[in-house]
Chains A and B, each alone.
Chain A
């Protein structure tokens, strides 16, 4: 197809550039791994082969993937359900913000990994701990972004709505929430990345289940290509989820796609 518009032309050149970079990356990986002959570093083709084995041939990935994703989905939903209302409230209501601010600071600063043993002591070795860790990894980033989004809503728009006699409820519905949507989506995307990380970390560190357990197993047997392939599965999943979210954002907030990151 001959590109017609500037946008199509830009897309085409973007993609050819991306493919070039990828080929370069794969090639240097392949060559350096072959050259080093380190059995713990698989070549690019070995990794891809391992990926195909895990996903399509033996299908060993699916059960652990399912187990891990239970924690991911539940923890993430819990985060969103708590962080968005909290962020909205903190963004618009000054006294709530004053109360919450120090705690948000604490959660932003605190490293989550050391909390894993505490979560396990409190909640046991089951799903609950994993959900809690995913939640702790995620929610503060969604809350902070939501709050920032609300605070960045143009005060001129709020004044305009007031000049037409809008009630606080109408201001929320018609101005504050739509105005904050792009920042909320940015928070949701950052949160998603954190949630995937939290999901794997907790399984690696303490609650051996799901993908983390699979990774430990492969590593123990020195099956490096499967370790890499499992990581690749996590990356592919994260990318898929992010593009679903981008699609949702374009549906919900088509005016915002220019300013979003991730």
Chain B
């Protein structure tokens, strides 16, 4: 379980103190074990900052970030991140990329290889083990990114707009695949997105954030049964939640534009 209490993060301006930007302002929420939480909000709401704080990649100013009652002080073996721009090593083949996290954590060569092979299979990239990232499509590259994160068998998967850089068709296929995999290997997932469909389709709950400073507006339950797929998107509940998100996001955008004028 991820527990966030009173979390604040300020980015300092270039010249130091007073010009800082409050990226996140006293957040309180929890991500339950094996829950799929999607996070949505307009740009500037601090969702990526939040994910990086939980990943242990950047420090925070105030509050508590705990995983199963243990404070987060840096990256840990219990978490793995899937990045928006894939972050694959361009000089390494698929298998080496998938094994990267394991290797960093000191797994033996044979263990790395066996696990990487299993995950390459899981994400459907058999036959591409020896290809370089530049020889793969964007969707295939992100499957490598997902396999790499799953390879270290984390308890928590942190996904930072993982499908944001992909085209609509690829994105849909990957959403379905992610749900299938999540069904097999239950993890706690925190998934950042700016697509309303994606937020509702994937999440057990959707966390809606407001921008400048980043705050939690609301956490919305998504009572849609699983497995979810194409049919899900036709249900009234799906459409209603999506509409509700849009109303909220739209008012934020309007406010935002007024604020800047």
Residues of A within 8 A of B (CB): 154, 156-157, 159-166, 170, 174-175, 178-179, 181, 253, 255-256
Partner-binding segment picked from B25-33, B99-107, B173-181, B229-237:
B99-107
Most chain A Cβ neighbours within 10 Å, of B57, B76, B89, B152: B89
Contact A165 B75 (CB under 8 A): yes
On chain B, the number of residues with a Cβ less than 8 Å from chain A's Cβ atoms is 24
In the bound complex, CA of A170 to CA of B102 (Å): 13
In the bound complex, CA of A160 to CA of B103 (Å): 13
Question: Within 8 Å of chain A (Cβ to Cβ): is B222?
Answer: no
Q: A174-B104, A253-B91 are in contact. Are A163 and B57 (CB under 8 A)?
A: yes
For A175, list chain B residues within 8 Å (CB).
89
In the bound complex, CA of A179 to CA of B91 (Å): 8
Most chain A Cβ neighbours within 10 Å, of B74, B77, B87: B87
In the bound complex, CA of A159 to CA of B57 (Å): 7
Contact B105 A157 (CB under 8 A): no
Contact A163 B90 (CB under 8 A): no
Residues of B within 8 A of A (CB): 55-57, 74-77, 79-81, 83, 85, 87, 89-91, 100-101, 103-105, 132, 134, 152
For A157, list chain B residues within 8 Å (CB).
87, 89
Contact B91 A166 (CB under 8 A): no
Closest 3 CB pairs of A and B: A160-B87, A164-B101, A163-B81
For B101, list chain A residues within 8 Å (CB).
164
Contact A161 B91 (CB under 8 A): no
For A162, list chain B residues within 8 Å (CB).
57, 75
Residue of B nearest to A166 (CB): B104
For B152, list chain A residues within 8 Å (CB).
164
Q: Could you write out 6 A-B pairs with CB less than 8 Å apart?
A: A159-B87, A160-B83, A163-B80, A170-B104, A253-B91, A255-B134
Contact A156 B75 (CB under 8 A): no
Residue of A nearest to B158 (CB): A163
Please tell me which one of the listed residues A165, A178, A181 contacts residue B89 in the complex, with CB atoms under 8 A apart.
A178
In the bound complex, CA of A162 to CA of B134 (Å): 23
Contact B91 A255 (CB under 8 A): yes
Q: A156-B83, A175-B89, A255-B90 are in contact. Are A164 and B100 (CB under 8 A)?
A: yes
Q: A156-B87, A255-B91 are in contact. Are A161 and B132 (CB under 8 A)?
A: no
Minimum CB–CB distance from B181 to chain A (whole Å) comes to: 19
For B75, list chain A residues within 8 Å (CB).
162-165
Minimum CB–CB distance from A48 to chain B (whole Å) comes to: 43
For B77, list chain A residues within 8 Å (CB).
165
Minimum CB–CB distance from B28 to chain A (whole Å) comes to: 25
Contact B85 A161 (CB under 8 A): no
